[in-house]
Amino acid sequence: MANFLSDLVNSIFTPGPTPSIIIATNASFAALQLVLLVLLILTYSVHFMVLSFLCAGLWCAINWFVSELEAANQKEKEAKQIREARKGRDDIGAEDSGTETEGGGNQGEGPPPATKSERLLRPDDTQGALRKRKSLGEASSGDLSTDSEWDKVEEAGDMDK
């Protein structure tokens, strides 16, 4: 028991769901459900039933979230192992062939694919030239200024008089 408590205190400062935190969370929710059941039996109040349903929903949501985190961590570990295996295979192939390039083994493949954030930050350059913004004088639909719109309104008002 003392070992569990020390693990629980240490797991507070450890990122991610640790086994001791998960056990403590499930034990706390089980105890809360038990207390709500006892209160429901003693008072016959529908409020404790509603609280019990809310508690059960939160308990399930937390356990689902923990399982999703564990699945994501597992996928991340597998992806890291694959990257390391590919890197090791590329390093071995580059050393054996004697045709090591300065680009890091990207022979004939072009630049590495951009991440989503890089694509959002970098302008679209698929046609070979950057897109050019239209200036106020180049606008195809007339003046873009709101002042000119007010001038048109004033001219229309003068014509009515």
Locate the domains of the chain by residue range.
2-97
Of residues 96 and 127, more confidently modeled: 96
CA–CA distance, 103 with 117 (Å, rounded to integer): 22
Mean pLDDT, rounded, of the chain: 79
Average pLDDT on 43-61 reads: 97
CA–CA distance, 126 with 110 (Å, rounded to integer): 14
Read off the amino acid at residue 47: H
Residue 123 has what pLDDT? 54
Residue 141 has what pLDDT? 54
Average pLDDT on 22-32 reads: 96
**Assigned token pair, 45:** 């109040």
**Assigned token pair, 3:** 């070992």
CA–CA distance, 12 with 127 (Å, rounded to integer): 52
51 CB-near residues (< 8 Å, 6+ apart): 36
Of residues 121 and 154, more confidently modeled: 154
CA–CA distance, 62 with 106 (Å, rounded to integer): 44
CB-based contact 20:2 (threshold 8 Å): no
Q: Which pTM value belongs to this model? A: 0.52
Band of residue 26 on the pLDDT scale cut at 50, 70, 90: very high
pLDDT over 70, % of the chain: 65
Residue 2 has what pLDDT? 81
CA–CA distance, 121 with 123 (Å, rounded to integer): 7
Q: Using one digit for the tens of pLDDT, what is the confidence trace for 55-109?
A: 999 999 999 999 999 999 999 999 999 999 998 888 776 665 555 555 555 555 5
Average pLDDT on 109-124 reads: 60
Residue 39 has what pLDDT? 97
Q: Any idea which residue has 């028991």 for tokens?
A: 1
Residue 92 has what pLDDT? 72
CB-based contact 114:124 (threshold 8 Å): no
Residue 148 has what pLDDT? 74
Of residues 140 and 80, more confidently modeled: 80
10 Å CB burial of residue 94 (0-12, 13-18, 19+) is middle
